[in-house]
Structure 1
Amino acid sequence: MFLVASDYDRTLANEKNGFIISDDVKSKVNEFSKKYPFVVVTGREKRFINVLANGLTPTAWVLENGPLLLIGEKEVYLVDKEWFEIREKIIEKLEKLGLRYSVGKIIIYLDNAVNFGNKLKFDCARVEWNRNDAMIMPKNMDKGKGLLELIKILKFNGKIIAVGDSQNDIPLFNVADFKVAVANALDEIKKIADLVLDEENGKGVISLLEMVESNYFLKKINID
């Protein structure tokens, strides 16, 4: 059995469309999820996903870059209470630096923060990058760790195929049995991928799901 774990922005959804998922991608993922586990692993907040991916019904979601799981209507927080005290101190520092930010249920977001990268260093938190955008989050959490916690809950015991495009997908790749990059992925992601798709964004993911359904990966991944 395979589980497909897919990033959202610039993987499932095209930036040119404002990251609104297309009907053909939505339809394919929903159909696929009836046969195989399909998990969206994204830095996005639930409130944005509800708008951008309305009607998308994967098996589950890993949100806010790892620490928030969404299984049906159930939310699972993968953080200690101490994190929220730490987060307040980080916010105070961001205020002093004059940086613009927004706060999710767990993590802190900074858009176009690449020029401030040398100032975003914290002993008690980690900074993940998605191209030019930064996410400040619990030190022991990332997309890969979030997915592994979800897999425990789902009691999944098969192989993981991960697909992504940007830096924050590297931890997701680290826990995958097979790593896939969409055609529009950053070069550093393509270099570590086992497969680079010919098509960009959601069209590439559709091709990937068709490959899973055709048993392509039975030849590529050792199944015990």
Structure 2
Amino acid sequence: MVLSDFDRTLADEKNNFIIKQEVVEVVNKFSEKFPFFVVTGRERKYMNILAKGLFPTGWIIENGGIIILRDKEIKLVDEKWYEVRKNLIKVLDKYGIKYSLGEVIVYVNSAIDYKDKLNKINEAKIEWNRSDAMIMPKNVSKGDAVKILKSILSFDGVTIAIGDSQNDISLFSVADIKVAVANALPEIKAISDIVLDKDDGMGVMYFLEKILNESSYLEKLIRLRK
């Protein structure tokens, strides 16, 4: 099972995070043979725009808040969270911090200037993606969602995580093999088993093609787990 982040992993910031068609084609081909999940902090409405034509096995969106499979959808929060979220919004409004609301989490773009204020929030967890912040329930993360996903699917095979940024750390923590794209942050490369030599989707594309086309490479990856 491959679990890949989206922004700056599958999609290039220079292309406004719109995934390239050649990457789409390889991911779709890979998904016909192996489980492939996009694991992103993004909201559903943006994925519908940025990832047109992409048909992975499933999605984990909103940084672990929602799992989307082909036949079902699981929201990993209870109703109490939405009461907490209302109070958090009042705090953000008080500080004059601009935000947007997802189905689960609260997004604060270019939030680095508000880091001290955001870190004072105790009712929720703050996860960072470069300079952007996501405010979410304390029990929600990419890694926690992957654990639940594996349980739902009764999957006990090799898991490969691909990422680039701080909010991929929890994803890496539950993976057998950790892969960083060439443009990943230094702290992500430092905890990776493999660092790709290409940025973003090009790196992921060539990695997937190598698994598809070279049985010896897949066997090597499986040995890495042991």
Q: TM-score, normalised by structure 2?
A: 0.95
Q: Which residue in the other structure is 2:27 paired with? A: 29
- What one-letter code is carried by the residue in structure 1 that aligns with 2:66? L
Tell me the alpha carbon deviations over residues 100-144 of structure 1, each in whole angstroms, 9 at most, x when there is no partner: 000000000000001111111322210000000000001011011
Residue 6 (1) aligns with residue 4 (2): yes
In structure 2, how many angstroms separate the alpha carbons of the residues matched to 1:106 and 1:159? 29
Greater shift, 201-210 or 40-49, is seen at 201-210
1:82 aligned to which of 80, 83, 90: 80
Question: Which residues of structure 2 form unaligned runs of 5+?
Answer: none
Deviation at 1:217, TM superposition (A): 3.8
- Paired with 1:54 and 1:220, the residues of 2 have a C-alpha distance of 30
The equivalent of 1:165 in structure 2 is: 164
Query: Match of 1:115?
Result: 113
Which whole-Å deviations, capped at 9, do the CAs of 1:25-49 have from their partners, x for residues lacking one? Answer: 0000000000000000000000100
Separation in structure 1 between the aligned mates of residue 51 and residue 210 of structure 2, nearest angstrom: 23
Which structure dedicates a bigger proportion of its chain to helix?
A: 2
Alignment of 1:1-224 (within 5 A): 3-72=1-70, 74-121=72-119, 122-213=121-212, 214-215=214-215, 216-222=217-223
Measure, in 2, the Cα distance between the counterparts of 1:190 and 1:59.
Answer: 26
Q: Distance in 2 between matches of 1:208 and 1:144?
A: 22
Q: For residue 50 of structure 2, what is the amino acid of its counterpart?
A: L
SS, match of residue 86 in structure 2: helix
Secondary structure of 2:6's counterpart equals coil
State the alpha-carbon separation in 2 of the partners of residues 70 and 41 from structure 1.
Answer: 10
Matched letter for residue 218 of structure 1: E
Contact 2:26-2:209 at 8 Å conserved across structures: no
Number of residue equivalences: 222
State the superposition RMSD in angstroms: 1.3
SS at match of 2:63: coil
Q: What is the one-letter code of the residue matched to 1:114?
A: I
Where does structure 1 lack aligned partners over 5 or more consecutive residues?
none
| Runs of 4+ off more than 3 Å | 220-224
Deviation at 1:73, TM superposition (A): 6.0
Q: Report the Cα offset of residue 221 of structure 1.
A: 3.3
Alpha-carbon distance, 1:220 to partner:
3.6
CA distance in structure 2 between the partners assigned to 1:9 and 1:81 by the alignment: 29
